[in-house]
Each structure stands twice: as C-alpha cells, then as structure tokens.
A and B are shown apart, each in its own frame.
Chain A
Amino acid sequence: MNFRSELSESLSIAFDAIRANKLRSSLATLGIVIGVVTVTLMGTAITGLNNAFRSSISQLGTDVLYVQKFDWGPDRDWWRIRNRRDITLADARRAAREITLGRGVSIEANRTSTVSYRDKTARGVWTIGNTEESAVVRGLVVKEGRFFSAAEVDGARPVCVIGADVASRLFPYESPLTKMVRIEGQPFVVIGVIDKMGQFLFGNLDNQIIVPITKFISDLAWRPDVTITVKVGDERLLDDAAEQVRGVMRKIRRVPPGVEDDFGINRQQILLDTFNRIGGMIASAGLFITGLSLFVGGIGVMNIMYVSVVERTREIGIRKAIGARRRTIMVQFLFEAAGICLAGGVIALVVAFPLTLLIGRFLPATLGWQVASIALLVSIVTGLVAGFLPARRASLLNPVDALRAE
C-alpha cells in the first residue's frame, strides 16, 4: 500500500473518529490543553526572565572590569572573602593613577539614603560616591547641567548629579539645577541631571544620586568598601588589563608573592556563567514540574485511545479482513492520538497568548515562535507516545476475534 494514500486515509479516519466522539475527545484534549498551557507559560516566564537578566547584565558592559573585595564567582570560600580587608579610597586612588591600560577608571561606593528638597522627600535613593571619570566609565549621559570636576572631587565639594526619577520626584515643576537638596540631612547643590537609563537587574538606575566620592566618605559613609571600575574599551584587551590591574592591586595592598589575591577582579562573563548555571537548574526544575501536568494529560489521551480501540474492535476486524496491514491500523490510531494532542496544543497556544500578555505586565514574558513551535511539537510527541500502546494493541488484534466482537 502506498504511503501517501495510507497517510491521507489515516488522517481522514482519525478526523472522523475525533468528530464522532466530540465530548470524549474534547475532554481528553482539555487535559492536553492544561498541560501545554502550563508548560508554555513556564517556558515563556523562563525565557522572559532570561532575556531581562541578560539585558540587565549587558549594562555592566563586556569591556569593563570591576575590582572589589568580593568575587562574583559562586564557588569561593565565603568566610575567607568576608575577612578580606576593605578596599579603601586611598587604595583606589593609587590604583586609578597606576592603571594605564584602558580608557578610564572610576571609583565607586554606594548606599541608600533619604533625599529631600523643601517639603518633598524621596526615600531609598541609591546614593553613589564617584570620581570625575565615572561619567565616562559608567556611560552616564548628562541631560541638563554638568558632571562634577576633578577639582570638586579633590575639594570634596557638596555637589550632586541626580537621576531622572529623582529629578521628577523632587522637582516636578522647576529646574533642579542650583537647587539645594539634603541627603541624610547634609546639604548638596544639584549641578546636573542624568538622562533616563531604565532598570538594572531589580533596581532602577534612574533612582540614583551621585556625589563626589570624597564628600561621600566624609559625610555619608564611614570607611566604605569601594569598587574600582576599569573601562578597558576593547573586549580583546580584557585579559591583559586584568593582569595589569592584578599586579597594581597586589602591590598597593602588599600581597606577598605566593599568597592568593585579597580582592576580586570581576567581569560580566562571571555573572553570566553563574546565571546560566543557576538559571538552567531553575528552568529544568520548573519545566519538569509543569511537565507532570502534560504527562497526566497524556495519560488521559492514552486512556481514551484504549477505549477507542475496544469500541472499534469490529471496525479494526473489517479493515483487516479487507487488507489493512498492521502498520496501517497502527498509523490510524497514532494519528487519532496525535490529532487530539495537536488540537490541544493549538488551543493551548490560543489560551496561553493572552495569559502571556497579562503576565507581561508584571514580569518580562514573551511567547516567541520558538516556544510556540516547541509546544506544538511536544503535543504531537505526547500524542504519539500516549497512542503507541493502544495503537499497538489494535494492530495486533486477530481479525477472526475482532470480527466477532459486538
């Protein structure tokens, strides 16, 4: 029997069978719909979170080194790292002078604080101490006014540059420039406003206020741990630059030869690696758990298929008597099961799409064509797997017994 007519015949039989048992088929389909919807939504959420995390991380820049007391890598001995000496401002300033590879070095320390202007108050503002080079290194775009100068950093002047959200919160109707705000009660004059930047990980980059690091240390934090940010400018020079930074830092902090570094030289890649590992684990756990509901749906289809085989034993007998081979009968039932599941998959996507849009309001979630096509593929495979045993039973029926069935 030729394969094409076999397929089209099986397809039309399967379609007839599904149509003839609408209620039963739709109940079986419902199980698949629920399974595919949950798996799809989980997949959607995972890809959404992945994308959000990646785009956040990309703001760190692939060409930037972050020199800190802590390593970003996951598998370090936490207690040893915790007992390292803090990186002081003096360390950082010396390092900034001695690091020659790269386009700029920024020094940074931060805390959250309350900022007020007259009767308006903004709490939980990300307050950052920076140097004059930070604007370039961090890629800050000053929309109004200017960034602070080297002289202002050296002189620990009470000036600040504010983020877009801080500006709109404290100064809804007037220009913030030359106005005096209070950070934790200390007066600072606003000299610049930064353009909108967006979200970073789970923080808001527009909710920041930047002051000279010298002033930050004298007024807002006592001997904080600082970060040295080196903008290398070219990804290919990253390793060379890291080597130089390492030498400089070991010298400054007097690390004897043979003793391991008491600081971390971090880069975006480390976070990405960590994320990929943890994200992969979360994704597989999530997909496994939601996959269980699809599995249950598959069992439903299998059950229906067994019923269908028993019910149509006589039909199978007739078909066999007039020349249907085992494979033909098998394909017929596999198509029926796959058809039920494929219909479930399609309905599931129709259901999942608006749900994704709804979820997209709270979480980054996208229903891409990859997830959609995987969902359809998974439903077909579920059908084939669930239909296999019933179809096999049908194909092995003895025609004499099958014809005798009521």
Chain B
Amino acid sequence: MSLIRLRNIARRYEMGGETVHALRDVSLDLERGEYVAIMGPSGSGKSTLMNVLGCLDTPSAGTYELNGTDVSEMDDNELADIRNREIGFVFQTFNLLPRSTALRNVELPLIYAGLPSHERHEIARESLSKVGLADRMTHRPNEMSGGQRQRVAVARALVNSPSIILADEPTGNLDSKTGAEILALFDALSRQGNTIIVVTHEEEVARHARRILRIRDGLIAADERTERATESAAV
C-alpha cells in the first residue's frame, strides 16, 4: 500500500468573483522511503500541492489517503493531529519561534502530542544531536546562523518520527555552502529510510531526490526518475 495516494485532486480558489484553478487533476502515489522533488515555476500550483500534501489545506475535489487514512474530508482539529503525527515541516524561512530556545522549538510538536516534560526533553535533545546541534540547545534563533536555524527546523520536523518530511524551498534563504550542508543532511535522512518531499525551483536541489515531479498549470507535467548524482558527496 502506498504511503501517499492522491486521486483526481483539484483545488480551486474564489478570488474576486473569479475561480482560480490551482490544482486541476492530480493523481499520485508515493511509497515509504521515497525522496521526491516537486518542481515548477511560480503559479504552477506546486505550493498548493505541498499544502494539500502537508494537510494544511483540503482539496476541493478528489481523495487523499495518507498512511491508509482518508484525510480529504477531515476537519481542522483532526488535520492538526495528522500534521502532528505524520508530517514534519521544513520551511524556507525556518519558521522557528523567535523567543524560544532551540530545545523548546524542537519540543513543541511533542507538547502538542501530549508527552510529559521529561520524555520531551530527552527526545528533543536526541533529535538536535542528530542534526549536529548538541551544543546549541539553549540558543535562541537570533543567536544562530541561518544553517543552524534550518537544522533546528529539521530537528523539529524529525522529533515526532513523522511519516513524511515536507520541505518547502529548504535552501532558499541559505548561501550555497550551508545549503549544501542541509541537502547533505536530507540525503543522510533519506538513507536512514525517511520519506522526504522537497518543493523547489532549483535543479541542483531537485537532483538530490530520486524522483522529480514537474508541475505546470495545476497538472503533473512530468514524473522522472533521477540518478543520484551526489550520492558520493553525502555526509
């Protein structure tokens, strides 16, 4: 059974009396352990697809099964639980809570999962160590570099052992060197069996994935398998 199963997904918005078809008809299967890049120019619908995949948005039509559960008809609170359990987000702008320490940021999903504090601390520490930030636990986002911030975000995404890691332009706000570090981290996570979806418009970023979905005008225009060109460079 596929981890993700989209069937005839459409998403329409009403904008000033005009209907915008962000997604027209998308069907897609993703298996556990895949590393996929979603590419497309702005306005192609790739952000909308990411929002639907991340359970941040619900489709106007079609069905979405995640891990065997139909999530396309769920209400806000049920979706919040699904996001908490199944999805780890990594955003272009990091989206850390600015006044909280790295540890506290990473703990947040566990708080919403209802774990007692001593367990939370332990798991969050472990997750931060995994991304190489064992010595930055008590730092606040403004005391860290962009690369470190993004690694905190990755640690936060990993902390609940989600089914999918969903990254939206994860290197967009980083210089090429730190960007490469983050991509190497993703490669490593992929090798450990994590399912990763990266939304990007950069070919170099997409080349790290094993599969590339090209979106155009709300449709999947191409579905390509890649040779992992950077396999040997992985950390």
Contact = CB atoms under 8 A, between A and B. Distances in A.
B109 to A, nearest CB: 5
B114 A321 contact: no
B108 A16 contact: no
For the complex of A and B, the 7 pairs showing the least CB-CB separation, nearest first, are: A323-B84, A2-B114, A323-B112, A1-B114, A325-B80, A322-B109, A325-B77
A146 interface: no
A314 B51 CA distance: 16
Most buried by B among A6, A320, A323, A399: A323
A403 B109 contact: no
A323 B82 CA distance: 7
B218 interface: no
A314 B81 contact: no
A325 B113 CA distance: 10
Contacts of B99: 16, 20
A321 B83 contact: yes
Interface in B26-85: 51, 54, 56-57, 76-77, 80-81, 83-85
A321 B51 contact: no
Nearest to B156: A322
A123 B131 CA distance: 93
A296 interface: no
Contacts of A326: 76-77, 80
B186 interface: no
A328 interface: yes
Most buried by B among A1, A320, A322, A327: A322
A148 to B, nearest CB: 83
Interface in A284-329: 314-315, 317-328
A58 to B, nearest CB: 57
Contacts of B109: 322-323
A273 interface: no
A297 to B, nearest CB: 27
Contacts of B89: 321-322
Interface residues of A, number: 24
8 contacts: A318-B96, A320-B80, A322-B112, A325-B77, A325-B80, A326-B80, A403-B56, A403-B91
Contact of B111 (A5, A315, A318, A327): A5
Contacts of B111: 1, 5-6, 9
B226 interface: no
A1 B120 CA distance: 13
Contacts of B84: 322-323
Contacts of A324: 80, 112
A350 to B, nearest CB: 29
B117 interface: yes
Contacts, number: 66
B218 to A, nearest CB: 16
Given A20-B99, A323-B112, 13 more contacts: A1-B112, A1-B113, A2-B114, A9-B111, A314-B95, A319-B108, A321-B54, A322-B89, A322-B108, A323-B109, A325-B77, A326-B77, A327-B77
A400 interface: yes
A315 B97 contact: yes
Contact of A400 (B56, B97, B108, B156): B56
A403 B114 contact: no
A400 B54 CA distance: 10
Interface string A3-24: 0011001000000100010000
B114 A318 contact: no
Given A16-B99, A315-B97, A403-B91, A323 B113 contact: yes
Contact of B81 (A321, A325, A399, A403): A325
Contact of B83 (A1, A5, A323): A323
A318 B112 contact: no
Interface string A373-403: 0000000000000000000000000011001
B116 interface: yes
A327 B78 CA distance: 12
A314 B89 CA distance: 15
Contacts of A317: 95
A5 B117 contact: yes
Most buried by B among A16, A325, A326: A325
A399 B56 contact: yes
A393 to B, nearest CB: 14
Contacts of B91: 403
Interface string B149-192: 00000001000100000000000000000000000000000000
Given A323-B80, A400-B51, A318 B57 contact: no
